Amino acid sequence: MSSTQATHDTTPAHAITRCTGVLLGALRGAASSPAWSMTAHEQAAALVELTQAGAQLCELRLRVLAAAANNSVGSATGASSPAAWLAHKTRQTRVSAGADVRLAAQLDTSFEATRAALADGAVNEDQARVIVTAVNDLTDLCDDISAVDRARAEKHLIAQAAIFDAKALRILGRRLFEVIDPDAADEQEGKKLKKEEDEARRKARFVMRDNGDGTSSGSFKLPTLHAQMLDKALGALTSPRRLGPGGRTDPDGTKIAYPTLLGHGLMELIENLPTRRLPSSAGNNVTIVVTIDLDALLTGIGAANLDTGGKISAGQARRLACNAGIIPVVLGGDSMPLDIGQEKRLFTRSQRIALGIRDKTCTAENCDRPPGWCEAHHDVPWSKDGPTNLTNGRLYCSWHHHLAHDDSYLTTNRPNGQTRFRRRRQ
């Protein structure tokens, strides 16, 4: 045996290499052991300990990653960067691997206290990322922060991590300047928020595309303020108390998914926009103009044209005309206009108030939605010369207003002023 080979055989493995070997062996041994056979006490203890071990293993992985990045790991195989090599070898995304490399470098150079807390299992990976981000943001906001103050801020967040999860810790991190200079904390937070708001406004976007199947899809990015305003509005429109059991299920009894309910809420919000208060475009406000043949209007069969180039069913046009959210243009023979309605011409504000006082809620049986969320409806349609008065009017919530114009339902007006809906037999 050569001296080279002998030297190789007697060289002890690195402590980390031995650790990974033992760890993998232990994990393989536990893989076949059923967790259901543990007692509840054992399961609870194991979950806490495994979570702590996960944090410690994360620190070890990041520590090795920092050293590997310094050694340009993967360069021998032509990898463009340590992150690219890591992503390929571990089947991570480039984004995830890159974030790990950056965090590893921060813990290795500037955040020794956070690294040590992670190694002890005192913080988890998500908390460590929040601490690093918050302290770096503090430095970006105030260039004159000393190393001592940075250390104080880092130590403060590590202590808070024993109480708060990563989400709450992120909120505390926004007030981190209070640790450095309590008297100037509000001023500094205001500057930070102003910077974020300006950046959020610059990044705001809205994209929408027609899918060609009667739907449109899109994506958006909004400042937090406007996103929360929208979320609160949709929450009010789709709250269980407002919708009731009937509004949260399809006619066949199937429960409507929450994202679909939010979609319905957005539809209702758009339909009830105060269009007269919005800016005009080319001399017209943004109210939709619907053109429909008289026969289609009377029968509810056929299609109506929108001034935007789209089309809707005649039944939808009749429903919207009741709610006065459009300007209807009714055509007779040779497509000549017979009547051009005015938005909100059907029921005046005073009539709506009177209907609310009289009806008190949606007039559908077993519906208690308040007048403020209801729409005025003609018992005898205005397309059939129904008068616009209190005797011929009633309040329906948006859900029941749709049903009133749905030919698959029969309606019966009861002596008590309520309407009973019944599905037609197929």
- pLDDT (tens digit per residue) in 343-369: 444 677 667 777 877 888 899 988 888
Higher per-residue confidence, 219 vs 179: 219
Structure-token pair, residue 314: 């005649």
Please give the pLDDT value at position 10: 64
Please give the pLDDT value at position 5: 47
Cα separation values, 283 from 66, 279, 280, 287, 340, Å: 63, 9, 6, 12, 17
If pLDDT is split at 50, 70 and 90, which confidence band does 321 have? Answer: low
Please give the pLDDT value at position 342: 47
Please give the pLDDT value at position 155: 92
Read off the pTM: 0.50
How do residues 323-335 score in pLDDT, each as one tens digit? Answer: 555 666 666 655 4
Rounded to an integer, the average pLDDT of 207-233 is: 88
Higher per-residue confidence, 249 vs 376: 376
Spell out the domains of the chain, with CATH numbers in brackets. 278-344 (no CATH), 349-423 (1.10.30)
Please give the pLDDT value at position 426: 62
Please give the pLDDT value at position 143: 66
Contact by Cβ (8 Å): 329, 315? no
User: For 84-88, 99-103, 133-137, 283-287, which range has the lowest pLDDT when averaged over its residues?
Assistant: 283-287
Please give the pLDDT value at position 188: 66
Higher per-residue confidence, 324 vs 86: 86
Burial class from Cβ neighbours inside 10 Å (0-12, 13-18, 19+) for residue 40 reads exposed
Q: In which residue are the tokens 């100037």 written?
A: 184
Mean confidence (pLDDT) of the chain: 80
Please give the pLDDT value at position 48: 92
Which residue in 418, 415, 426 sits closest to 396, CA to CA? 418
d(CA 320, CA 306): 12
Please give the pLDDT value at position 7: 47
How do residues 114-161 score in pLDDT, each as one tens digit? Answer: 999 999 999 999 999 999 998 988 777 666 678 888 888 899 999 999
